Amino acid sequence: MAELSDVFFVDGVRTPFGRAGEKGMYWNTRADDLAVKATIGLMERNPQVPASRVDDVAVAATSQTGDQGLTLGRTVGLLAGLPETVPGFAIDRMCAGAMTSVAMMSGALATGMYDVALAGGVEHMGHHPIGANADPNPRFVAERLVDPAALNMGVTAERIHDRFPELTRERADRYGMLSQQKAQAAYDAGKIQPDLVPVAIKGADGAWGLATEDEGRRPETTMEGLAGLKTPFRPHGRVTAGTSSPLTDGATMALLAGGAAVKELGLAPKMRLVSFAFAGVQPEIMGIGPIPSTEKALRKAGLSVSDIGLFELNEAFAIQVISLLDHFGIADDDARVNQWGGAIAVGHPLAASGVRLMIQLAAQFAERPDVRYGLTAMCVGLGQGGSVVWENPHYNGRKRK
């Protein structure tokens, strides 16, 4: 008889993130191979987990076509060398794909149906621009359910500025600049690199190389430079390339396990799952989605936002993050938030990003035994938000000096 179980984030890795497009480092690399590389790297890092013990593999992608199609969880598992007995499936919740992979696997682990699971995501936005092969039902527009501009994420970001005029372009610019600076500082301190799996890449000239770090960082960003950028989503708008995540290619993968498997295999989990929640909002203003999903996740956990000691928030756009911070009364530059920068600097390969947030939170937990709870949260296209509350296994109850 299966028993209810705690769920643990044992480990997570990702590929370096590359800029999408012909000049990006992954232009000649298949999307599924990125996910395969992350899977191999994760299993190699955790030799105490027999591959045969993996109960299921969930791999998310937003554009499930071409080299991101064909039931990714199954094909990636086979290509990564997992036994044929290990099943797998694909999942899609746009930007929150990997986060949903973790949430769904966690449900199976919590009920004792699974003991060990892999969950992650991949997005090759160079090969598969968001919405490129989509065929939105015309009734979205004809029945006035959704403004067609809701399918353009930059336009939805502009609308948050419209709704909350106190969230100014200058605040967004400053947030974007700080993200770049924090990401570079984290690289300089060697915080990011331990969880990156190098990927062999082939250049346009046919020469082979090795991708070892995120490609899109711009640490030289200044407020003056940002102020001069164009606003591509609206004339005289407020959202610019400097306050948006760049189009990105990359993959992530997490190893999850239930309490019994952790004990049996002698694992040392990096986080314990406390709660997760997803919520829907008006598609035209999708960026506020993490506000209700976070409120819901905190309610499920019996916690308040003041209990959260570290935040990893996906920076699809700067305005999305500062709208959430403003709602909860948190300063734009609060030291608990995105300590190592975020997607504005390192990129947002849509369905892969949720696990990147978890990887960074887990690494920060190891450094911060004074912090008990952390939050990973993100906005989701078509008007959704996703949030996961985690507990730090290193927590010792002592205040930081």
Pull the structure tokens for residue 156: 């939805």
Q: How far apart are CA 234 and CA 381, in angstroms?
A: 19
Instruction: Output the six-digit token pair for 187.
Output: 């690289």
Residues 382-400, mean pLDDT to the nearest whole number: 93
Cβ contact 359:227 at 8 Å: no
Residue in the block written with tokens 């164009």: 230
Report whether 83 contacts 57 (CB < 8 A). Answer: no
What was the pLDDT predicted at 231?
95
The predicted pLDDT at position 239 comes to: 96
Does residue 154 fall inside a structural domain? no
Whether residue 308 is contained in a domain is answered as yes
Residue 72 forms part of a structural domain:
yes
In a domain, 363, yes or no: yes
User: Model-level pTM?
Assistant: 0.97
The catalytic residue positions are: 95, 348, 379
Residue 148 above 90 pLDDT? no
Average pLDDT over residues 46-59: 98
Q: Is residue 194 domain-resident?
A: no
- pLDDT tens track for 313-368: 999 999 999 999 999 999 999 999 999 999 999 999 999 999 999 999 999 999 99
Q: Can you say how many angstroms the Cα of residue 250 is from the centroid of all Cα atoms in its chain? A: 11
pLDDT for position 400: 74
Query: Given this model, what pLDDT does residue 91 score?
Result: 97
pLDDT band at 401 (very low <50, low <70, confident <90, very high): low
Model confidence at 306: pLDDT above 70: yes
Beta strands in 168-239 (DSSP E): 199-202, 208-211
Given a cut of 90, is residue 11 above it in pLDDT?
yes
Say yes or no to pLDDT of 79 above 90: yes
H or E element that contains 90: strand 88-91
Distances (CA, A) of 199 to 41, 44, 119: 10, 14, 19
Domain count, the chain: 1
Evaluate whether residue 175 is within a structural domain: no
Range of the domain at 26: 7-129+246-390
Taking all residues of the chain, what is their mean pLDDT, rounded to a whole number?
A: 95
The whole-angstrom separation of Cα 345 and Cα 299 is 31
> What local confidence, expressed as pLDDT, does residue 145 receive?
64
Nearest to 343, CA basis, from 130, 179, 173:
179
Give me the CATH number covering residue 57: 3.40.47.10
Residue 318 token pair: 């700067």
- Split at pLDDT 50, 70, 90, the class of 144 is low
Q: How many helices (H) does the chain have, and how many strands (E)?
A: 12, 12
122 within 8 A of 36, measured Cβ to Cβ: no
DSSP conformational letter for 215: S
Which residue is listed with tokens 């936005």?
125
Return the residue matching tokens 């950028």: 229
Give the tens place of pLDDT for each residue, 197-224: 999 999 878 899 999 999 989 999 999 9
Copy the structure tokens of residue 71: 């039931």
**Percent of the chain at pLDDT exceeding 70:** 99
Residue 216 has a pLDDT of: 86
Nearest to 251 by CA among 196, 323, 184, 186: 196
Is 187 inside a domain boundary?
no
Q: Virtual CA dihedral for 357, 360, 363, 369, nearest 10 degrees?
A: -70
Q: Is residue 289 part of a domain?
A: yes
Determine the average pLDDT of the residues in 130-151: 76
